[in-house]
Structure 1
Amino acid sequence: MVLNFTKINSIPVLPKRRDNLNKFSTYIVLSDQNNQLSLQWKHQPSLQRNLKLYEEKHQEFSNLFCHQDKGIDIANFWRKVAFDESQLIGNWEPSNKIQLAYEHLASYFEERCYWAAKDLSKERNANSWEEYLCIARLLVYNPLNLKEILVKYNYKSANIDTYISNVLTNHIKFSADVSRFSRWRLLYKKSDKELIEALKVFGIIEPEISLIIFARKYFKQVYLINKVKNPARITGKKWIAPDEEDFSKSAQCYNAEKVLPTAPHEVFANSTKVTAKQIKDWMEICIKALESYPISILPKFSLDAFQSGEFEVKSELQVSEIEWEKISSTEDTREQGFLANQANSILSEQLQSMKLDAQKILLLYYGFGFNQKQLADRLGMNQSTISRYLTKSTIKLLEAIARISQPQQWVKQYVKRWLENDYHTPVHSDLIQAALVSAIKKLGNEEREVLQLYYGEQMDEIKIASQLGTGLSEIVTRVTKARNILQEKLMKEINIWMKEYLEKWLVNYYKSLLKVVLKNEPKLGKGELKLEEKIYLLEIYIQNQLY
């Protein structure tokens, strides 16, 4: 649904925040209930935790916090925290206390944003209420701008609420008069990650989120060429609204690209061609989600840069670890933990049952990082012999893992169940489902097409055969072939995961073993042992365990 306010009396009423906890830890969101728009307050847990921490640990703040009429005084408290030049942090305070102070202030000023936007709408154009609100919130949720505003505040001239209201009103007027703000620029500039986050809060779920993100990709390309980079547009002027031609061209690009292997799985699985109206509706939803969700407005800065006044975007890349639980077919976490413990036990037993030479090679290779040539020189063996020892030993250990996970027994049923239940909305954070999505993208055109019709559109074999102009037996064969290919590819992936898991397990095993041995070594207290001494102690330990 495209949300729009057309009259001043259609602007939703802003609910009152009942206490100081809410006044400094909530933000405005738009919601649609029974086709009636309303505004609600949404909590930010990190801000709530910080308020309760200061209430418990800071006497001045606690005295203010218990009085519900002290909102202005509490705002001034956080202003002092934000401007604390000493930057001293108490042993109980969070390391990002300055950033949190600005976020508390932005939360408190949400009401000022609402009233400034609403009051201006009465004077000007009621249709611009949402735009005015977004202009105001973009100002208070940018710490750079908010800091500049608060530096100029003089408590002797007016209270902080009145001061902020005047600043917001003037800022909205200026931005609107010179046409600086554009909701289409907001849509264009925000990252996929921010947009996805905003859409989720707005109530959009998969697979529609993936469809919207894919649509915006092509809308941005068309809009950039037709409007932003258009020679007729004067540089520095407001980004104008797209027209029907822009949406139509975006829909053409979307439909042409959705069948390619590079398209997201959710997009390919949805065979319906999109229209210009659908693209337009999706882009409006994106704008509404971004305007109503301040986390997507709020820049994310590193604390050091924040304190020095030079802001830098913080990297949010996270490297996921391969975990044994992801290899298991069971969905019960307690059973997964049991399997992990079982793997540790069985692998340890397998290691201890190997001959001494094999154990020494594994120790030096995984425990101390020797390569095959270094091992050959050290042990007086051919490098090919070292390679055979490593291969034979790891195969033995991998077979032990396979006996626990038994993928050959559950992969077939897992693939069938996934195709039937989760084909449209795979969980990409799940290693197995992500592997299946990747495998589908690598299928031939015939296999991809028949899977899309059979599981995507849920057509039976007879209808598929009629649509593709082929025999029923041919369709059955194609569906079976596609499933078998997915099973084979998943088995290969599982073998790779088990190998990766084993390598990490061996490294961690020998590191842990070294700690156990060195813990009881008297020389350790007199200084760090040399590499050769560590190797000698571990070899003796392994030999004693063997005999």
Structure 2
Amino acid sequence: MFTITPKLPSRQNLVDKFSMYMTVENNKGRSTIKWKTDPHLQSNIELYKSRHKKFASLFNQENNGRDLVQFWIDMAFNDLPALEEWEPEKRVQNAWEHLSVYCEESCYWAAEKLSSDVWKEDKYQSWEEYLFFARCLIYNYNKFRYVLAKYNSNNSLDTYLTTVLINAIKDEAAVAKFSKWRLLHKKSDRELKEALVRAGRYEPEISQFLFARKYFKQVYQMNKIQNPAKITGKKWLEPDSADFAEAANYYNAEKLLPSVPHEVAAGAFVTGEQIKVWMEICIIALQNYPKSITPHFSLEALQETGRKVEYDESPEIIEQDLLTYSEVKDSFETQGRTVKRTEPALLLQLLFFKSEQQEILLLYYGFGLNQKQIAEKFKVTQGAIARRLQTIELKLLKTLSELSQPTEWVSQYVAGWLGRSYQAPIYSDLIHVAIVEAIKKLEPQEQELLRLTYGQKLDEQIIANQLGISQPKLIDTLRRTKSKLEAALIKEIDNLINKYLQSWLPKVSKTVVKSACDNLGFSRSGAASLKTMNAVLKESLKILHSSK
């Protein structure tokens, strides 16, 4: 339906014009437009103002930013002026982003003109749709570049671009196929997730929205897109209550499968009305977040919020995660204390080993010799070396276990985690992942008990009635369920400790051997001969004992 175009507020200064993008918000049924700052673009402008004299001087020109537009165009098209040491490597990409947000106003005026003058009698179109078409152009690198390549710098970019956008909107809207449901249907999960994060949505909502959208798309595809009543090229049909109810049925039927995200399984069953509300939230997020229009500009969106999409397990990360877990026993009040104690404790244990054991460690982890080569040096069997390495590693593992003492804090940690993080675990934290995986291996009734207790936070008596069991049995089942989680967590901590040790031993041994080679003036590759190796080994032992 045709709607009145809301007033466009002004951006206060030139910094705002090149660093703020538009959001459309719905307040009690009325749309309002607001400007939102992109911190990355704002900081980039401040950087150039403080380091680039010519750029800073352009802010004093009385031409409403035309020279600044040309500055970014020169950089975007020709990578000019010459790159200086202080400039970011992605300066060309940044230039395109500055130009795109600057042109947001032209998008508005093109949409406003069409909705108020040209096609205001068309009840099937609205200014929001026109605005979306326009923004799709300026956030599409190839299309936007093509348009700017024809721009004459002697004229106003605003006037030129508004005219271009009006024609582009006419071409798109003439097909009369756009609707907010098409927008929701076409966007990828990654784009939708980014849009929801920028809209201020967090877990477990995001996972629930994405899961619901999956089944809504299937229902909408079958009932509306492939519906014989839909005429090709015409606007997509509106979903009805039966579509949402059918999507809710699929959601509820699939939510307890092992492959389903934990945030979904932990939540309550949903209704068709709830699915409708969720899909409306997703649509508003996509409409308000211009960066979701173009993948090229949206790669860093989640990183800006401090979230991680993928987990890259490296020795350094393993070390950090392990030490964080051991800090839990101090209730996080003495954070970092265990971190400072771990490596000295391991080094001290190394010094308690016999000289032969120390040499075996340095040869195996520092020089990279295999067990057979070490056995030849000590004139013993390979099995003997394997057993000695195992003895050494077990003593070091015992040292780590005594520091972390999982049996003392795991029970309290699991109880606290269930109350605090059951609905939205942190997947960059290995301990959270371990508990989630343990939950998926529980019996169906045990999973349902956790969902009702910690997901919906229902009263014990209500849960007992719902599950058809007595309250004492419910309490006993909950206790046994927690015990299973505790056992699984202790097992995972043992694995983490072992991983940490396997990353720590090579790191320390190689560092000692490298220092010894440096002291003797040898390269590590030149320490292959027996005579040289013995000299480096002797120096390595000196360095190791000097760390007392």
User: What TM-score, normalized by structure 2, do the two folds share?
Assistant: 0.87
- The offset of 1:446, in angstroms, is 2.2
Contact 1:64/1:70 (8 A) holds in 2: no
User: What's 1:307 paired with?
Assistant: none
Contact 1:428/1:434 (8 A) holds in 2: yes
User: What's 1:75 paired with?
Assistant: 69
Could you say what the CA RMSD is over the residues aligned between the two structures, in angstroms? 3.0
- The offset of 1:292, in angstroms, is 0.8
Question: What is the CA deviation profile of residues 174-199 of structure 1, one whole-angstrom value per residue up to 9, with x for unaligned ones?
Answer: 10002364533432333323322211
User: What's 2:252 paired with?
Assistant: 255
Task: Tell me the percent identity.
Answer: 43
Contact 2:327/2:337 (8 A) holds in 1: no
Alpha-carbon spacing, 1:341–1:529, altered in 2? closer, same or farther (3 Å): farther
Taking the aligned partners of 2:55 and 2:219, their CA distance within structure 1 comes to: 52
Contact 2:2/2:127 (8 A) holds in 1: no
User: What's 2:277 paired with?
Assistant: 281
Alpha-carbon spacing, 1:409–1:35, altered in 2? closer, same or farther (3 Å): farther
Letter in 2 for 1:297: I
Alpha-carbon spacing, 1:6–1:302, altered in 2? closer, same or farther (3 Å): closer
User: What's 2:303 paired with?
Assistant: none
User: What's 1:491 paired with?
Assistant: 490
Alpha-carbon spacing, 1:182–1:463, altered in 2? closer, same or farther (3 Å): closer
For the residue of structure 2 that corresponds to 1:42, the secondary structure is: strand
Matches within 5 A, 1:338-487: 338-376=337-375, 379-487=378-486
Contact 2:3/2:127 (8 A) holds in 1: no
Alpha-carbon spacing, 1:215–1:370, altered in 2? closer, same or farther (3 Å): farther
User: What's 1:319 paired with?
Assistant: 312
- The offset of 1:213, in angstroms, is 1.2
For the residue of structure 2 that corresponds to 1:186, the secondary structure is: helix
Alpha-carbon spacing, 1:48–1:316, altered in 2? closer, same or farther (3 Å): same
Where structure 1 has 5 or more consecutive residues not aligned to the other structure, the ranges are 304-314
- The offset of 1:83, in angstroms, is 1.0
User: What's 2:302 paired with?
Assistant: none
User: What's 1:540 paired with?
Assistant: 538
User: What's 1:15 paired with?
Assistant: 9
Matches within 5 A, 1:45-444: 45-67=39-61, 69-84=63-78, 88-123=82-117, 124=120, 125=122, 128-156=126-154, 158-179=155-176, 181-228=178-225, 240-271=237-268, 273-300=269-296, 319-320=312-313, 321-322=317-318, 323=320, 324-330=322-328, 335-376=334-375, 379-444=378-443
Taking the aligned partners of 1:210 and 1:43, their CA distance within structure 2 comes to: 26
Taking the aligned partners of 1:302 and 1:199, their CA distance within structure 2 comes to: 13
Question: What is the CA deviation profile of residues 70-122 of structure 1, one whole-angstrom value per residue up to 9, with x for unaligned ones?
Answer: 31221121111111167952222211111111000001011111121122221
Taking the aligned partners of 1:487 and 1:412, their CA distance within structure 2 comes to: 6
Where structure 2 has 5 or more consecutive residues not aligned to the other structure, the ranges are 300-307
Contact 2:177/2:234 (8 A) holds in 1: yes
- The offset of 1:423, in angstroms, is 2.2
Alpha-carbon spacing, 1:366–1:182, altered in 2? closer, same or farther (3 Å): farther
Pick which of 351-360 and 475-484 moved more: 351-360
User: What TM-score, normalized by structure 1, do the two folds share?
Assistant: 0.87
- Number of equivalences: 526
The yes-or-no answer on 1:28 pairing with 2:22 is yes
Taking the aligned partners of 2:204 and 2:246, their CA distance within structure 1 comes to: 23
Alpha-carbon spacing, 1:181–1:79, altered in 2? closer, same or farther (3 Å): farther
